[in-house]
Each structure stands twice: as structure tokens, then as C-alpha cells.
Amino acid sequence: MINKTVKSAEEAIKDLHDGMTIALGGFGLCGIPENCIAALVKKGVKNLTCISNNAGVDDFGLGLLLQGKQIKKMISSYVGENAEFERQMLSGELIVDLIPQGTLATRLMAAGYGMPAIFTPAGVGTEVAEGKEVRRFKYNGVEKDYLMEYAFEPDFAIVKAWKGDAAGNLVFRLTARNFSPLVAMSGKITVAEVEQMVEPGELQADQIHVPGIYVHRIFQGQKYEKRIEQRTVRKKM
């Protein structure tokens, strides 16, 4: 067994440089790789292209990288919780590629499966399709147009898991699973931070969400905040 453990987030991203493309797991603030994001802020890398469902909030998650002007381009499907993101986009400081959520997921999956492109009906006839190839297919007896989308090619994929072992096998907990398995499959180098590092063989094989073959570096994370993005409470009766 190859031991893929590293000591810290700083060591895990030591060769992540300016101008790279990074895919990050998470949905809102749920299941985001907090330690690695903090390490990227500290490292001060610039001109990043980030592939993530969303861009965090103003003072947490990817919002911290936006505050430091470290992100050049965001590829996302939902970005409505970050005022700094909005300011940078409207001022032209940030390039934004908004794509359908299912397309985001499938382009990550295609990268992991070694498929160069996918065809999807999402976005046909809209601004999303501008400059892209459209083909007509007959499927389930119905002919319709499909848009060709290329697989993502992130230099790094960074995820947070609930449990992991030295071989890189990962288990996610409940909603924190979200996009992370697809993100983990997509990277040329995949980094995983975990809440609990367990011994090899302790994870039941049929409960593993991402097999270690996809993961290159893994470490025990520290001090997770687990913030709630939006809190709604009932009024007192």
C-alpha cells in the first residue's frame, strides 16, 4: 500500500502555483476544504481559476480568496451569497462562467472517467450555447439538439471528507458528500483533508465513496468551523 499522507495543508498544496486551475468540493459552506483554502490564502497564490458550485460567502470559504484578489476566474453554477463576488464581477475584475449545475457535475465526472466531452440538452438555445457545437441526436425515440461541453481539466482537485485512510480512500457524511466525489475524480493532483484519519482496512469497502486511486495526498484536518450559511428560525409564539 502506498502511504499518501502528508503532515499539513501547506505541504499538500506546496506545488500549487499562480495561474493554476483548481476544482473544489462543497455546496454552500457544507463540506468545503477549509484548511486547504486557508493555506491557499496564506500562500498568496494569484490568478487562480476555481471550479466550484459556488464562491463561499464574504468572509469564509472561497470568499477569503476573493478578498485577497487571488481568483482570476470563477466557474460556478450558483454565486448569490457573496457581495464581494458581485462587486468584482460587475467591475470587471473577475471573469465568471456561470453554467447549469448538472453540466458542472457532469463535466467533473467526465474528467474522472477520461471522457473528453459530453453532450447535454441543458443550455441549448441560450447564451450558454454561444460558440459551442450543437448536434442533433435521436434518444428514446425523440430527436433533439444537444450541446457539446468539454470535460474540466483542473491541475488540482481539493476536497474535504469525513473519514479517510493512508491509501486515500474517502467517506463523506450526508450532505457534505455533494460535489466532492466528482471533484476528487477530476484533478491531475487530488488533495483530501479529512475530519478523521483511520487505519487502512477500517473503512468498509462498500461504504467508500472515493477509492484511493483518485487521491494523491491526504491529511488530518484541524479546527473546522462548520458555519451555517443561512439560519432561519421560528418566531416565538
- Length of the chain (residues): 237
* Number of CB atoms found within 10 A of residue 67's CB: 16
Q: State if pTM tops 0.95.
A: no
The 10s digit of each residue's pLDDT in 170-226 is 999 999 999 999 999 999 999 999 999 999 999 999 999 999 999 999 999 988 877
The 10s digit of each residue's pLDDT in 87-127 is 999 999 999 999 999 999 999 999 999 999 999 999 999 99
* Number of CB atoms found within 10 A of residue 116's CB: 10
Domains plus CATH for the chain?
A: 9-100+152-220 (3.40.1080.10), 118-150 (no CATH)
Q: What is the pLDDT of residue 220?
A: 95
Q: What is the pLDDT of residue 230?
A: 74
